[in-house]
A and B are shown apart, each in its own frame.
Chain A
Amino acid sequence: DAGVTQSPTHLIKTRGQQVTLRCSPISGHKSVSWYQQVLGQGPQFIFQYYEKEERGRGNFPDRFSARQFPNYSSELNVNALLLGDSALYLCASSLGAGRAIGNQPQHFGDGTRLSIL
């Protein structure tokens, strides 16, 4: 079975540009989360979407936005790129999350490595 797939694998942008990262969850998973991992650190939570609605947002500026499509795939958009946005961007999927069903384990893709020049 296919795992979480992310595209592109690598991306080089310059300051001020905009970028869109894509994620396809594991088949049957309805929840997608996005994380930023800076070299030498653990991943930091950016967003979670469940059933196409934003359910959680981390401490990131409004330059970061995301959406989830009817097929449960997701896009992360970052505007006005800064040098500090250089990182590995990870997408994770799970069956779901919330009070009714608890927090299901999250499975990660291999990420998109974003470099800002």
Chain B
Amino acid sequence: QKEVEQDPGPLSVPEGAIVSLNCTYSNSAFQYFMWYRQYSRKGPELLMYTYSSGNKEDGRFTAQVDKSSKYISLFIRDSQPSDSATYLCAMSTRTSYGKLTFGQGTILTVHP
């Protein structure tokens, strides 16, 4: 079993839709949770960074962490064609010296 599981999709939605992306994990020591966006032939771009449980909002993006269920989510409101990319969840422990463990990535397409 992988430490971090992420549905690879692909996910296709119409412009303006609310998108929900999810990851589950098995390592209860994970305390730092991130979402990255990766366009084709580019490196991952940091979207959201949260510590422990709770919600964090930044513009059209909301990240949720539920440590009791070992489940994290990223919501994208009013999705745009420019949001079409691969979304990666990543996690690390307090003592891992920054080692990130990634999910497989979800391919998202937002069509006009």
Contacts and interface: CB of A to CB of B under 8 A. Distances in A.
Interface of A: 4, 31, 33, 35, 40-45, 48, 50, 55-56, 58, 90, 92, 94, 96-99, 102-111, 113
A97 B96 CA distance: 8
A42 B96 contact: no
Contacts of B41: 110, 113
A81 B45 CA distance: 29
Interface residues of B, number: 29
Contact of A48 (B32, B44, B49, B97): B97
A72 to B, nearest CB: 14
B101 A109 contact: no
A103 B43 contact: no
B65 interface: no
Given A42-B88, A45-B99, A105 B43 contact: no
B98 A42 contact: no
The 5 closest A-B pairs by CB, nearest first: A42-B102, A97-B98, A108-B43, A55-B97, A110-B43
A56 B96 CA distance: 7
B99 A48 contact: yes
B43 A90 contact: yes
A103 B50 CA distance: 11
